[in-house]
Structure 1
Amino acid sequence: MKPNIIFGPAGRPIDYKGAAYEACSYITKEGLRAYEYQAGRGLRIGQKSANILKEESIKEDILVSIHAPYYINLSAVDEKKLDMSIETLMKTAQVADWMGAYRIVFHPGYYLKNNPSDALAIAKNALNRVISKLDDEGIYDYTFAPETTGKRSQLGNIDEIIELCSSFDCVKPTIDFAHIHARGRGYIQKKDDYNCVLSKLENNLEIDRLHCHFTRIEYTKSGERRHHTFDEIEYGPELKWLLESFIENDWKATIICETPLLDKDALKMKELYESLLI
C-alpha cells in the first residue's frame, strides 16, 4: 500500500545515466515512489519504450505521470496553432496509455489577446474536441491534469483549473504550489494560505489523490522567473506547512519535485514528511 504522500522527480534522476524510460528501478532504490516523465520539449518516445516504462513501473510500484509538451496552447486564437495543440495533446494521451501514466499534465494556454473568460471558453471547447477525437480512436483510459500556471499571462489560475476539471469527468487538477506562489507574487505566507487552496479544491472537486508540483521559486511582478533548490530557503513557498496541512486533513497526494536537484530534493522532501509523522 502506498503512503498517503509520495514523492518523485520531474524527469530522470540527476545521477542516473540510463534511458529515461528505464529509470523506475533507480527511483525505487532511492526510496521514491513517483516519476513524472518529461515530454515538455516534444514527444520523443515510441510505443516499445513506453511499454517498457509501464512494465517497470508496475514491477517497481512507481506511480507514473507524463508532462505534455510546453508549446500546447488550448486557448490559441490562430486556428492552425489550436489544431496543432489539440493534435499534440491527443498524441500525449496515446503515449500516456502506452506507458500507463495516471495523469497527463499540461499547461492550458495563454490569454494573448483574449480576456480570461474567453480564453477559458476556447480551452474548454478545445479539450472537448480532444476528448471526442480520443473516443473516435478508441482511447478511453486517461486522465488529463491541467496545471496551475506561474505567469500572469497564462491561463491557469486556481479558479480556471477548477472550472476545467469540473467540466469533464476525465480531468483532474495538477496543483503547482510554486506557481500559485509566484503568480500571486508571494501568495503563500502561512499555513492557512495552503489551507485556502485545499479547501477550495475540496469544496469544488472530488479528488482521490491530488497531483502536485513543488519547488522553491523566484518571481517578478509578472510571475514565475526561476526554480531554486529545496535548501535555498530565501525563496518560498514553505513545504512544511503544506505537508502539515495534508497530514492534518488526511489528504493523499503525489508531490513531483521540480527543483534543479529533482530526485535529490525529492528525497529531502520525503525526509521532512516522515519527520512530521513521528
Structure 2
Amino acid sequence: MTKKVKFGPAGNPLGYKGKTPQVCDFLADKGLDAYEYQATYGVRISQNPAQELKKNSIKNGVLLSMHAPYYVNLSSADPAVIERSIERLVQSARAAEWMGAYRIVFHPGFYTKYTPEEALKKCKESLETVLEKLDAEGIKNFTFAPETTGKKSQLGTLEEIIDICQSLDKFQPTIDFAHLYARSGGKIKSREDYHQILDILDNELDIDHLHCHFTRIEFGDSGEKKHHILSEKEYGPPVKPLLEVLKESGWNSTIICETPLIDQDALRLKNCFDNMK
C-alpha cells in the first residue's frame, strides 16, 4: 500500500508577501502540504505568532517542521560555543512546541580538532544537557531531527546521525539526500542506492515518519558547494528514483525542498510523485 508523502519549501515561498503565521494558506492554495520554518539566524518568533502559525497549519493540513539556527556546534572545543548551541536548541524546542512543529532539524557540529568518534561523543553529551534543560522547563512536545551534513568537515554521516538517534530519546533523523550525495562524491545514482539508505534506516531505527531534504547540489573534494534548481540536471542526486522508491517502500515521508526555487520546485516534486503509476 502506498503511504503518504508530503512536499513543501524550506522557508517562506518566493514572492510571498504575507506574514509567516498565514503562510500555510498560501501553500495549501498551491497544492503543497508541508512547511519548514527557518530559524536560520536565531529563534525570533514569539509565542503568539507561533501559535497562530500552528492554527493556520492545522486548518490547511500542512505539516510543520522547524530548522534550528545554523550557528550550532555541539562538538566545539570552546565551551562557550557549546553553551550557546545548547541554548539555541532549547529556544528552538520552546518555539517548536508553540507552533506544533513535528521535527526540529539541526546540524550537529564540526569535527575540528577531534576525531569523528570524539566529536560524536561530545555532541551526544551536549544533547543530553539540552534534554535536561527542557525537562526542567517542562517542555515535552518536541522531536529533534539531526541532519545528515554535506561537508566532510561536519559531524553528520548517515551512521553518526543514526547513532545520535539510537542514543537519545525523542530523536529522529533528517535525511538530506543531497548532502549524502555530495559527501559521498556523487555515489547516489540509482533506485538501489536509495533503497540501501532506507534499508539501513529501517534496520537501525524505529521511524514513524521519515523527514527528508532534497535539492540538486554541486560538490567538490570537501563535499557540498552550492544548491541548484531541479531543472539543472547536470547536478545530482537523481530525483525520479528517490520518488519511485518512496512511493513503493511504505514510508510515510516529508520532503522539504531546498533548491533556490523552494516552493516552485517543491510543487514540481509533488507533481512528479503524484503522476507516477
Shorter-chain TM-score: which interval? Answer: over 0.9
Is residue 232 of structure 2 the alignment partner of residue 232 of structure 1?
A: yes
Instruction: Please list, as runs of the form range in 1=range in 2, the aligned pairs for 1:56-205 lying within 5 A after superposition.
Output: 56-205=56-205
CA distance in 1, matches of 2:88, 2:251: 32
TM-superposition CA deviations, 1:162-182 (whole Å, max 9, x none): 000011220000000000000
Aligned residues of 1:21 and 1:53 also touching (Cα < 8 A): yes
Q: Does 1:267 align with 2:257?
A: no
Partner Cα separation in structure 2 for residue 51 and residue 274 of structure 1: 31
Unpaired segments of 5 or more residues in structure 1? none
Whole-angstrom CA distance in 2 between matches of 1:19 and 1:238: 34
Aligned counterparts of 1:66 and 1:55: Cα–Cα separation in 2: 15
Identity %: 53
Question: Quick one: which amino acid aligns to residue 100 of structure 2?
Answer: G
The question of whether the paired residues in 2 share the 8 Å contact of 1:11 and 1:20 is answered with: no
- TM-score, L = length of structure 1: 0.98
Instruction: Give 1:136 deviation, angstroms.
Output: 0.5
**Residues 45-86 of structure 1, C-alpha deviation per residue, up to 9 Å, x if partnerless?**
111111110111111111000000001011111111101100
Deviation at 1:25, TM superposition (A): 0.3
Shift of 1:219: 0.4
For 1:25 and 1:11, the matched residues in 2 are separated by 14
TM-score normalised by length of structure 2: 0.98
Look up the equivalent residue of 2:187 and give its one-letter code.
Y
SS of equivalent residue, structure 1 residue 7: strand
Matched, 1:219 2:243: no
Find the counterpart in structure 2 of residue 207 from structure 1: 207
Return the offset for 1:21.
2.8
In the TM superposition, what whole-angstrom CA distance separates every residue of 1:190-217 from its partner, at most 9, and x where no partner exists? Answer: 1111111111100000111100000000
Aligned to 1:254: 254
Deviation by residue 1:227-262 (Cα, 9 ceiling, x = unmatched): 000111110001110111112211110000000000
CA contact 2:73–2:108 (8 Å) conserved in 1: yes
Secondary structure at the aligned position of 2:188 is classed as coil
Q: Is the 8 A contact 2:228 2:235 kept in 1?
A: yes
Contact 1:9 1:263 in 2 (8 A): yes
2:24 maps to 24
How many Å apart are 1:3 and its aligned residue?
6.0
For the 8 Å contact 2:3–2:251, the answer to whether it is kept is no
Residue of structure 1 in register with 2:8 after alignment = 8
Aligned partners of 1:187 and 1:208: how far apart in 2? 27
Give the Cα–Cα distance (whole angstroms) in 2 for the partners of residues 21 and 111 of structure 1. 37
Question: Tell me, what secondary structure is at the counterpart of 2:124?
Answer: helix
Aligned to 2:33: 33
How far residue 20 of structure 1 moved from its aligned partner, in angstroms, is 2.2
Structure 2 residue matching 1:83: 3-state secondary structure: helix
Distance in 2, matches of 1:133 and 1:43, equals 17
User: Shift in Å at residue 185 of structure 1?
Assistant: 1.1
Aligned-residue RMSD, C-alpha: 1.1
Q: How many residues align?
A: 276
